[in-house]
Amino acid sequence: MAEIVRTRFAPSPTGYLHVGGARTALFNYLLARRLGGRFILRIEDTDQTRNIEAADAKLMEDLRWLGLTWDEGPEVEGPYGPYHQSQRRALYDEHARRLLDAGLAYYAMETREELEALRRAAVQRGDKGYRYARPTRFPSESEARAARDAGRPVVIRFKMPERDFVVPDRILGEVTIRAAELSDFVLMKADGWPTYHFAVVVDDAAMKITHVLRGQEHLMNTPNHIALFEAFGAPVPQFAHLPIIFNMNGTKMSKREKDKVVRDAARAAGLADERLGALAGLHDAELVRAWRAEQTQLPGDALARLARALHVTVPEIEIHDFRRSGYLPEVLVNFIALLGWNPGTPQERFTLDELCAAFSLERVGKTNAKFDREKLLAFNTAALAAAEPARKLAAFRDWLAVNERGPLTELDDATRAHLIELCRGFRTFADIELKCGALFVPDQAIEYDEKAVKQHLLKGAGQGVAVLRELRPRLAALSDWTAAALDVAVRAFADERQLGLGKVAQPLRVAVTGTTISPQISDTLALLGRERTLARIDRALTHAAASTREAV
RNA sequence: GCCCCCAUCGUCUAGAGGCCUAGGACACCGGCUUUUCAAGCCGGCGACACGGGUUCGAAUCCCGUUGGGGGCGCCA
């Protein structure tokens, strides 16, 4: 009678889903799927000061985008709901009462200042590592009530058994934590909410969680949790502490980093707060000032606007960032799975289903990993190259939907699919906009990259300009404006003039897009249409003439 | 400071005493292809942190050093 495996992902709603969180969620999901168990989502919203509006919805959207669907949780009824801890308070109260009555917990009413003084005194005494010392006498119910009425902060602490604890970890092996490292931790905060340690264990026990996979930063908490499971007479789940994911430079992948990059750029640009606020679309001058002083973070959309204005790329930290940058969810899943886990075979490309079939805790490593965006990009490129057209179209549509309006926003599906084909070899969906965006913008809106103009139009006594002048009437007279016909025409012209194709295609490209980046020239012109092509050539010739005059 | 975890190419990793002249992937470098940007193809560079043991034999086991990471909250 094998016990049914139940794993859970228990994020606190402080924003979008983070890469590290996604990895934890993924491994829990994979383990449940592999073992025929259930994957539970629980929202840990017990900190009244940290919860962010609608963050749980964002978290869920990101999980769903990745394909990590839960069997029980918010929006998916299960037998142990509700799945927001804020809605389970009666359960915590009840458990606290039980521990109090059993003499396993007690009231404590030190203020923060008193606690701090105790700590300082211990340090001065030369104690190694201060721990809260259990009082010799515990306050009674009435004393606790009186203290609370008098405005003192009253908490409930757990009487931590005074013994060594061995954490049997499925990844790390047996880790022993000495009694001296442990202390009577807080169960219920003065505001009446449970602490993380308490709520986690109450819920894991209530929800019959069998395997707890979480980040290694939780390892030292585990004795507390084991002691609580034991106090409740509940079975202790299996633990597996996952290595941590870092940035390439070894720093933590923190949301703050996004602000840092943009802030540095803002400083380098030397812009005033007022101007920064305008660029970010913010009216709150105080917010901008605080942000510049590294005292706060900017809302995501404001940060994105500012980054765009300053021409910097905000590093992707949260799953949503990667979505906006044009990555495929299945690629993210594949890549993240390989951060800490490997199949033991040379296979590197996995679908979610394949991961479900191959996953095992035995093959999870112990060493921290750095998140290499270059490798992720390579994975995305390969996946895109191999994906079915329908898949690419759907993903492209999703990318357009999560980004601000751009030149490609309004296109119909047929055109979108066409662009995807023309851009074969692209790395992210953002590349399609980079490469084709100029073709869907008013003629007046295209800006010339002066380096490109010089290189391909003006250089060699205006060789490029000459090509354009000669080519223009031919294009105007072309009977058939299709990619095939244009290809023939352009090649014929190049042949005739004994020019390499590049000498013809590049001037055209610059004339028509302002840059050297676009699809193959015949496709580019076909997409643009005869009229706009000719109009843009004229506009470019005018621009080139002006540039030449300036240079003189 | 105290406690805990970890240690193979720049990065992710394979490796559970002889199969290792240490394998793969990404990056990098060189070349090919080329109508730009990408993509693609071929080749190359590149690691067992250090010091002691154990053993006929050590990347693999033990100890120490060093380095990296995490924890020491009424945050989660």
Q: Which residue has the tokens 């005194």?
A: A121
Rounded to whole angstroms, the distance from the CA of residue A336 to the C1' of nucleotide B9 is 21
Which of A304 and A528 is assigned the larger pLDDT? A528
Rounded to whole angstroms, the distance from the CA of residue A243 to the C1' of nucleotide B69 is 9
Rounded to the nearest angstrom, the gap between the alpha carbon of residue A285 and the centroid of all alpha carbons in its chain is 28
Q: Is A532 exposed, middle or buried (0-12, 13-18, 19+ CB in 10 A)?
A: middle
Query: Which one, of A440, A401, A442, lies nearest residue A418 by Cα?
Result: A440
pLDDT tens per residue, range A325-378: 999 999 999 999 999 999 999 999 999 999 999 999 999 999 999 999 999 999
**Strand B contact at CB of residue A47, distance < 7 A:** yes
Overall average pLDDT of the A139-149 stretch = 95
For residue A296, name the pLDDT band (cuts at 50, 70, 90). confident
Quick one: pLDDT at residue A139?
95
Beta bridge partners of A71: none
In A 133-172, which Cβ lie closer than 7 Å to strand B? 153, 155, 172
Overall average pLDDT of the A105-113 stretch = 93
Q: Is A215 exposed, middle or buried (0-12, 13-18, 19+ CB in 10 A)?
A: middle
DSSP state of A454: I
Question: Which nucleotide shows the minimum CA-to-C1' distance to residue A372?
Answer: B11
**Strand B contact at CB of residue A86, distance < 7 A:** no
Task: Determine whether A459 is an active site residue.
Answer: no
Q: Which bases of strand B have any atom within 7 Å of the beta carbon of a protein residue? A: 1-8, 10-15, 23-27, 34-40, 68-76
Rounded to whole angstroms, the distance from the CA of residue A355 to the C1' of nucleotide B24 is 19
**Strand B contact at CB of residue A372, distance < 7 A:** yes
Quick one: pLDDT at residue A456?
94
CA distance A342 to A351: 14
Q: Is A217 exposed, middle or buried (0-12, 13-18, 19+ CB in 10 A)?
A: exposed
Measured in degrees and rounded to the nearest 5, phi and psi for residue A76 equal: -135, 95
Q: Over pLDDT 70: what percentage of chain A?
A: 99
Rounded to the nearest angstrom, the gap between the alpha carbon of residue A35 and the centroid of all alpha carbons in its chain is 28
Question: Which nucleotide shows the minimum CA-to-C1' distance to residue A377?
Answer: B26
pLDDT at A304 exceeding the cut of 90: no
pLDDT at A1 exceeding the cut of 50: no
CA distance A473 to A485: 15
Q: Which residues are within 8 A (CB) of A126 and not within 5 positions of it... i.e. 6 or more apart?
A: none
Question: Which nucleotide shows the minimum CA-to-C1' distance to residue A176?
Answer: B4
Measured in degrees and rounded to the nearest 5, phi and psi for residue A195 equal: -80, 170
Quick one: pLDDT at residue A323?
97
Q: Is A304 exposed, middle or buried (0-12, 13-18, 19+ CB in 10 A)?
A: buried
DSSP letter string over A479-497?
A: S--SHHHHHHHHHHHHHHT
The vertex-A499 CA angle with A498 and A501, nearest 5°, equals 135
For residue A260, name the pLDDT band (cuts at 50, 70, 90). confident
Q: Indicate the residue type of A295.
A: Q
DSSP state of A343: -
Rounded to whole angstroms, the distance from the CA of residue A354 to the C1' of nucleotide B42 is 32
Query: Which one, of A88, A2, A67, lies nearest residue A37 by Cα?
Result: A2
Rounded to whole angstroms, the distance from the CA of residue A284 to the C1' of nucleotide B46 is 52
**ipTM field:** 0.95
Which of A285 and A358 is assigned the larger pLDDT? A358
Lowest pLDDT segment from A210-224, A329-343, A427-441, A451-465: A451-465
Quick one: pLDDT at residue A552?
60
pLDDT tens per residue, range A501-546: 999 999 999 999 999 999 999 999 999 999 999 999 999 999 999 8
Catalytic member of A255, A260, A454, A503:
A255
Question: Which nucleotide shows the minimum CA-to-C1' distance to residue A345?
Answer: B14
pLDDT tens per residue, range A25-65: 999 999 999 999 999 999 999 987 777 778 999 999 999 99
**Strand B contact at CB of residue A534, distance < 7 A:** no
Beta bridge partners of A18: A318
**A247 close to A373: Cβ distance less than 8 angstroms:** no
Rounded to the nearest angstrom, the gap between the alpha carbon of residue A184 and the centroid of all alpha carbons in its chain is 36
Strands A165-169 and A38-41: unpaired
DSSP letter string over A266-332?
A: HHHHT--HHHHHHHHT---HHHHHHHHTTS----HHHHHHHHHHHT-PPPP-BHHHHHHHT--HHHH
Helices A256-269, A300-310: crossing angle, 10 deg rounding: 40
Beta bridge partners of A409: none
Q: Which residue has the tokens 């340690």?
A: A197
Quick one: pLDDT at residue A158?
98
Instruction: Please tell me the pTM assigned to this model.
Output: 0.94
Q: What is the Cα Rg of chain A in Å?
A: 31
In A 257-316, which Cβ lie closer than 7 Å to strand B? none
**Strand B contact at CB of residue A111, distance < 7 A:** yes
* Protein residue nearest nucleotide B7, by CA to C1': A367
Q: Is A396 exposed, middle or buried (0-12, 13-18, 19+ CB in 10 A)?
A: buried
**Strand B contact at CB of residue A422, distance < 7 A:** no
pLDDT tens per residue, range A375-411: 999 999 999 999 999 999 999 999 999 998 899 999 9
Q: Is A446 exposed, middle or buried (0-12, 13-18, 19+ CB in 10 A)?
A: buried
Question: Which nucleotide shows the minimum CA-to-C1' distance to residue A108?
Answer: B74
HSE-up of A162 (CA within 13 Å, CB side)? 5
For residue A222, name the pLDDT band (cuts at 50, 70, 90). very high
User: Would you say the C-alpha torsion A374, A378, A379, A380 has a positive or negative sign?
Assistant: positive
CA distance A197 to A352: 32
Calculate the alpha carbon distances from A548 to A213, A452, A454, A459 in Å. 66, 14, 9, 10
* Protein residue nearest nucleotide B4, by CA to C1': A220
Query: Given its phi and psi angles, is residue A55 left (phi above 0), alpha (psi -120 to 50 degrees) or beta?
Result: alpha
